[in-house]
Amino acid sequence: MRRLYNSSAGNRHLDIGPGTGYFVDKCRFPTKTPELTLLDLNSECLDMSAGRLARYRPAICQANLMEPLPLPSRHFDSAAMNLVFHTIPGGWDTKGIILKHVAETLRPGGVLFGTTVLAEGVPMNRLTSKMVLEQHRRGNFQNQGDDPAGLERQLAKYFPEYRVTIRGAVAIFTATAG
C-alpha cells in the first residue's frame, strides 16, 4: 500500500477514509507542499488523521460517500480509497455509485487508487475464510458477494481506464478519470 501511495499520489490529493492517517503520513508526495483533503463520515477518524497530518494543514470534509460529495468537481490529481469498500453494505450494484461521486472530483487524467477485501471469486485459505466470516458476524466487513468482476464492472462505468490486481483476497485498483 505504501508503494501504491508513492507511485500514485498527486499534489492535490483527496484521501477517502484516511483511518489513522498512517499511509498519508508515510507517503512521498511529488512536492513537499501537497494540497491535502481528508474525507470521512466519522469525525473521530478525521480528527485523528488531521492531527497526525497537521504539517500539511489538511482540509476536512465530513461526508457520506453514498451521496454526491460537497467538493469541487474536476479538481484533484489523485484520490485514495483504501480498505473502505469492504466496510460499506449493499453489494457492487449499490455501492458502485461511490465511484461516480469520486470520479466527479478528479481532474481529467487524475488517478483513483485503492484496495478492498473481497469475499467471492478470490482464493481463500481456511484461516482467511474464518477471519472474513468472523468480520461479517461482527459487522466490520460488509463485503458479502463482493467479487473482482463486480468491482471491474463498476470501475468501467465511470472511468475510461482502470486496472484491478488480486493479491490473496485483496483487490488493488487504479483508475484514470476521463
Cβ closest to ligand SAM, residue 43 vs residue 160: 43
Q: How many residues bind ligand SAM (CB under 6 A)?
A: 17
Q: Does 145 bind ligand SAM (CB under 6 A)?
A: no
Q: Does 22 bind ligand SAM (CB under 6 A)?
A: yes
Q: Does 19 bind ligand SAM (CB under 6 A)?
A: yes
Residue 32: Cβ within 10 Å count = 8
122 membership: H or E segment, kind and range: none
Radius of gyration of the chain (CA): 16
**Could you say which residues in the range 23-42 bind ligand SAM, by CB under 6 A?**
23, 40-42
Q: Distance between CA atoms of 96 and 65, rounded to whole angstroms?
A: 10
Q: CA-based diameter of the chain, in Å?
A: 45
Q: Does 96 bind ligand SAM (CB under 6 A)?
A: no
DSSP class of residue 115 equals E
DSSP class of residue 71 equals S
Q: Does 17 bind ligand SAM (CB under 6 A)?
A: yes
In which residue are the cell numbers 481528508 written? 38
Q: Which of 53, 65, 132, 171 binds ligand SAM (CB under 6 A)?
A: 65
What cell numbers appear for 152 in the block? 471491474
Q: Shortest distance, CB of residue 39 to ligand SAM, whole angstroms?
A: 7
Which string of x and - marks every residue 45-64 that binds ligand SAM (by CB under 6 A)? Answer: x------------------x
Q: Residue 17 in contact with residue 86, Cβ under 8 Å?
A: no
Contacts with ligand SAM by CB under 6 A lie at 17-19, 22-23, 40-42, 45, 64-66, 82-84, 87-88
